[in-house]
Amino acid sequence: MTESQLPTQYAPAEVEGKLYERWTSAGLFEADPDRDPGAPSYTIVIPPPNVTGSLHMGHALDHSIQDTLVRRRRMQGYEALWLPGMDHAGIATQNVVERELKKEGLTRHDLGREAFQERVWQWKAESGGRILGQMKRLGDSVDWSRERFTMDEGLSRAVLTIFKRLYDDGLIYRAERIINWCPRCLTALSDIEVEHSDREGELVSIRYTDDVTVATTRAETMLGDTAVAVHPSDERYAHLVGTEIELPLTGRRIPVVADEHVDPEFGTGAVKVTPAHDPNDFEIGQRHGLPSLTVLDEHAKVTAPGPFQGMDRYEARAAVVEALREQGRIVKEVRPYEHSVGHCQRCRTVVEPRVSLQWFVRVEPLAKAAGDAVRDGRVQIQPPELSSRYFAWVDNMHDWCISRQLWWGHRIPVWYGPDGEQRCFGPGEEAPEGWTQDTDVLDTWFSSALWPFSTLGWPDDTPDLRRFYPTSVLVTGYDILFFWVARMMMFGLYAMDGVEPFKVIALHGMVRDQHGKKMSKSFGNVVDPLDWIDRYGADATRFTLLRGANPGSDVPVAEDWAQGSRNFCNKLWNATRFALMNGAHVNGELPAGPSALSTTDAWILSRLQTVIAEVDAHLEGFDFAKACEALYHFAWDEVCDWYLELSKVPLAEGGEVAETTRRVLGEVLDTVLRLLHPMVPFVTEELWTALTGRETILRAAWPTADAARADAAAEAAVVSLQRLVTEVRRFRSDQGLKSGQRVTAALELDGSPLAAYEEQIRSLLKLTAPGESFTATASLPVEGVVVRLDTAGAIDVAAERARLEKDLAVARKEVAQTSGKLANADFVAKAPEAVIGKNRARLEAARADITRLEAQLEALPSA
């Protein structure tokens, strides 16, 4: 492709789809465990999105980071695998299908378990997984030939295998414990499925006896109280410990117990204990051998005999308070009280702590191993400061409730015999006739905890598992560090004989709006990444997210930033078109040696080596924001704004000097496009193939810095040139001269290192050579050069004199203030050296400004 084949404007919609199809058709994303055994391996398994999900900004950020890492490693010669797949999302998927059935006037119970499961599989085939197509829109370079699903045959076998192994090792057990219960979804929930938010409740103080008053926001649970607890050192209640009191409204007598958990400074220092409906109370009950009395059923309706039986928990709450009020037991009237309340992540129903017979994983030895792997350095957390959060979780982890009262999911492989026998059957084993299988399914996180190795063929010894495990890096949000990441660590170390599931855990923050607010439908600030992709392109969407992706920090985004990223892509497009129009190419070796290159060519190649090294360091440190910033400013500010403009003179000159510049221009754009490709894959592919004539940038070599190209002298010379041009441009702008307006000027360059760049200076500043009748009306001494301009009729001399005098007054005031400080012995003696150095630098700069401004004033014509 040539510049004549590149449209004048970049249209992402016309490029992205066809390029993605070309990449996938050619199998460019596919990894091969048998290809080049000597090449290093690099593996990322995608955090599996829910089968019910659609692409949101969090996904877009997460996937852009992963794609950047994988594309770079491919270019570096790694055998790189980015493995895609989806999670069956037990609760969410079952809810979706049940809503569809409701439209038909049916429930899952009308269908029965097997028919309902068939209906879910049908829904998955027809409507599930639309996020996979959206991932393609974003440009995810995943190996689609290895796509996995947590309910597919291979992963289901892995689930049965590890359950059986944990069960036989005594690490899975069944017990009555207190768990999170959703009265709407009618299932136990894991901690990650419960979202806590502050909610205003009503605190009521109830007098149980003349000596005991308790306060609660859940008066209905008093029907299940089996004790009152006080602190052992609380003298107010010492005489009551070991005695019994009557529980109001029930006629039951309950003991008063002493427990360290009670805070004697909070409230009255006495707390009601309802072991069946509060996790802290459950622990108190365990310590004191208290019975657990369940008074709310699975629908959160009262089961306790009496006038409240059958009431919903909220209806019962009001009724219980009213009954207590009638007995004169309300010590303080109901008052507002804000407290944290758990809600079901899927349906937003307030969860109910509830004692229930469930299956649990005994996590203590697994969690210790997961903590040790990070402590001894086998697994690194990036950024390292988030390690403390990880340890806070794994070092204090409670046993994991893994059973769910659902029909969609991996059914627990435990059967019960007719005589009360209980046995776990693994893959290939069959239960005896007459035995019945447990009706519960496993927590979705149980199967996704196996993701790093089950997706590679475990429990079989597969070529993929040997080549690509352990995986290289896990990229995910810090918000699920405790839940999914910790579970993968536990199961990976357990199943794979102590080999960690990944070498690095790279944590990123949450995407927020430009004001730092969490994106929420209720706030009206949710941004659909597909909307941005439609309007600005996938590259612009990705680059916007990556420019904000500082390690571990939240990522603010705004639409005008996406527009800016689109403009950047257009800048690259226009720069490449300019280069192709002027014959830039990548054929043959670059000229070597100082004499073979002009100063500007040597400068841009020297700067390029620095940028390569910077980008490499930032990407190795997972600092995508800094890598993007370095490339953005180099490509826009230095390549486009300076080098392209400086190259116009030698290109116009022709001959050998023009050919050298064409080759350097090709080299610079080739390298910049390769450095940018992992972040903005589509536009770089289109431009790079046009520039180089090669098939795809995907397999192009990743650039490496060449120290021999460093040229400090060339960089210093161009910096001096830039200062000169910038100062004259500022003067022109202050005088209201249009950027394209030509001005006659004489350049006094004798003895200046910039003498060789007169043509470039005139080209950049739109300066016409003077004729015989030339008369200077303004003179600017800059960088050892005097620029004498004839601005007659173009400059308001009085206004320019006023501006210079104002600037001169500011500079003189700065000199007076800073020199006064530095002359003060006390200041010099007490101030830190850095502060003194800063003041000295300010004094020197102000004095230089005075010299410059006085010269400019002297050069102005009289009014």
User: Which residues line the annotated binding site for ATP?
Assistant: 521
68 DSSP assignment? H
Locate all alpha helices (DSSP H) within 333-478, ordered by sequence: 364-375, 387-394, 444-448, 451-454, 463-468
Of the candidates 653, 361, 368, 619, the one whose C-alpha atom is nearest the C-alpha of residue 493 is: 368
Distance from the first to the final alpha carbon of the chain: 58
Is the torsion defined by CA of 680, 683, 686, 691 positive or negative? negative
Q: Please state, as a whole number, how many other Cβ atoms lie within 10 Å of the Cβ of residue 740.
A: 6
| Sheet containing 502-508, strands listed edge to edge, beginning at the edge strand earlier in sequence | 380-382, 502-508, 471-477
User: Count of CB atoms within 10 A of residue 341's CB?
Assistant: 16
> From the annotation, which residues make up the binding site?
521
Q: Which amino acid is at 533?
A: I
State residue 32 phi and psi, 5-degree precision.
Answer: -135, 115
If you search the block for the tokens 């993605």, which residue do you land on?
Answer: 20
Can you say whether the dihedral through the CA atoms of 681, 683, 685, 688 is positive or negative?
Answer: negative
Adjacency order of strands within the sheet including 213-216:
213-216, 194-207, 330-344
Burial class (CB in 10 A: 0-12, 13-18, 19+), 79: buried
Contact 409, 90 (CB under 8 A): yes
Q: Among candidates 137, 145, 130, which has minimal Cα distance to 50? A: 130
Name which of 701, 686, 529, 693 is nearest 22 in CA terms.
686
What are the respective helix, strand and coil percentages of the chain, to the nearest 5?
50, 20, 35
Beta bridge partners of 204: 216
Q: How far apart are CA 179 and CA 282, in angstroms?
A: 10
Comparing CA positions, the residue from 534, 676, 495, 533 lying closest to residue 71 is 676
> Are 458 and 450 contacting, i.e. CB atoms less than 8 angstroms apart?
yes
Tell me 701's DSSP state: P
The residues near 436 (Cβ < 8 Å, ≥ 6 apart) are 415, 416
- Contact between 664 and 588 under an 8 Å Cβ cutoff? The reply is no
CA-to-CA dists, residue 84 to 129, 133, 420, 698, angstroms: 12, 12, 43, 19
CA distance 549 to 628: 9
Which DSSP string corresponds to 732-757?
HHHTT--TT--EEEEEE-TT-GGGGG
Alpha helices in 26-138 (DSSP H): 57-75, 90-103, 108-111, 113-126, 130-138
Residues 621 and 551 sit within 8 Å (Cβ to Cβ): yes
Q: What values do phi and psi take at 659, rounded to 5?
A: -65, -40
Write the secondary structure of 540-577 as one string of H (helix), E (strand) and C (coil).
HHHHHHHHCCCCCCCEEECHHHHHHHHHHHHHHHHHHH
Secondary structure (DSSP) of 308-355:
TTT-BHHHHHHHHHHHHHHTT-EEEEEEEEEEEEEEETTT-PBPEEEE
Distance of alpha carbon 470 from alpha carbon 337, whole angstroms: 49
